[in-house]
Structure 1
Amino acid sequence: MFVGTCEFDLLLGDVRSLKQKRSVVRPLVADLRKRFEVSVAEAGHRELHRRTLIGVAVVAADGDHVRDVLDECERLVAGRPEIELLSARRRLFGPED
């Protein structure tokens, strides 16, 4: 069994309040969860209006599948016009870990 995690550090567009931030982050989290059947949550920068850290985790029997799913998640996040992807940090854990 393989476990993959990714942290997306994001800069949000024209967001001036935590309420506006939620209106951007919630649909993104829901879309990732629905499309890719991954665990996902806002994991950091919660007190900042224009920044957020989204954590994604996926478990599969095949390491290549885990990488493919994380690649697709990153493409979805990077493709959002209202979001700038500042960084993506990944970890992959396999049977030996």
Structure 2
Amino acid sequence: MYVGTLSFDILLGDVRSLKEKRSVVRPIVADLQRTFSVSAAEVEHLDLYRRAGIGLAVVSGDATHVADVLDRCERMVAGRPEVELLSVRRRFHGDDD
């Protein structure tokens, strides 16, 4: 079994309230879940309205599949015009860990 995780640190554009932040972050999380069948949630900077931390995880029996899904998720978030991706942290856990 292989587990891969990504943590995104995101700067939001012209957002002036937590309500506006939710209207940007929720569709990103929902798209990740729907498109790639991953577990995803907003996990950091919950009280800041121009920053967001999104975490996701994927589990598979194939290490190549995990790496491919993580790559596609990262490209999707980086390609969103309404956010600026500040950093991405990737972790990979295999049977040897």
TM surpasses 0.5: yes
Distance, in Å, in 2 between the alignment partners of 1:12 and 1:71 is 22
| Alpha-carbon distance, 1:34 to partner | 0.1
Identity %: 67
Query: For each residue in 1:17-72, what CA deviation from the matched residue of structure 2 results, as whole angstroms up to 9, or x when unmatched?
Result: 00000000010100000000000000000000100000010000111110110110
- Is 1:69 the counterpart of 2:64 in the alignment? no
Please list every run of at least 4 consecutive aligned residues from structure 1 whose deviation after the TM superposition is greater than 2 angstroms.
Answer: none
Distance, in Å, in 2 between the alignment partners of 1:64 and 1:50 is 34
Partner of 2:4: 4
| Alpha-carbon distance, 1:13 to partner | 0.7
Partner of 1:85: 85
Distance, in Å, in 2 between the alignment partners of 1:88 and 1:62 is 22
Aligned length: 97
Structure 2: 5+ residue stretches without partners: none
Structure 1: 5+ residue stretches without partners: none
Question: Over aligned residue pairs, what C-alpha RMSD do you find?
Answer: 0.4
Matched position secondary structure for 1:16? coil
Distance, in Å, in 1 between the alignment partners of 2:5 and 2:80 is 20
Q: TM-score, normalised by structure 1?
A: 0.98
Partner of 1:56: 56
Distance, in Å, in 2 between the alignment partners of 1:45 and 1:63 is 30
Aligned partner of 1:12: which letter? L
Aligned partner of 2:17: which letter? S
